[in-house]
Amino acid sequence: MRVLIVPITDTETELADMVAEGLREEGMAADVAHGASDDADLLLKTVREYDVLIIERDAPALAASRTRDLLAESPARILLIEAAGCHQSPVRADARLSKPYTYPELLTQVLALGVAGGHKVAT
């Protein structure tokens, strides 16, 4: 299963790198899309290659209507990370995870999305 993580800040990029490493240890192919949260074109080019997309609700690239349209049509399962109590979303989300969250919570969501997408996951 291929997972793409789209962080929105430098601090979250470091966290995203650690999450990606953890997902790799679980047997997944995990990448971090450095700069994609600000660059709708970069996000559009890469999203089709992944089974699960982990993205921040407030990522600037989501402001572009073409990005929202692509994500709506994408076969990738979307895990949307959002602030606690936030219920409106600019994009389709197959699952949501509110901040603060733990790595096991994130892993559970990613695995569930993978299974829902028809992927075998090894744990």
For the chain, domain boundaries: 2-116
d(CA 29, CA 70): 22
pLDDT tens per residue, range 61-73: 666 666 777 777 7
Task: Quote the pTM value.
Answer: 0.81
Instruction: Report helix, strand or coil for 70.
Output: helix
Question: How far is CA 38 from each of CA 10, 15, 43, 50, rounded to the nearest angstrom?
Answer: 12, 17, 9, 19
* Average pLDDT, rounded, for the chain: 80
pLDDT in tens, 2-48: 998 887 766 778 888 999 999 999 999 998 887 655 555 666 666 77
Q: What is the pLDDT of residues 99-110, one digit of tens each?
A: 889 999 999 999
Which of the following CATH numbers is that of domain 2-116: 3.20.20.70, 3.90.550.10, 3.90.190.10, 3.40.50.2300?
Answer: 3.40.50.2300
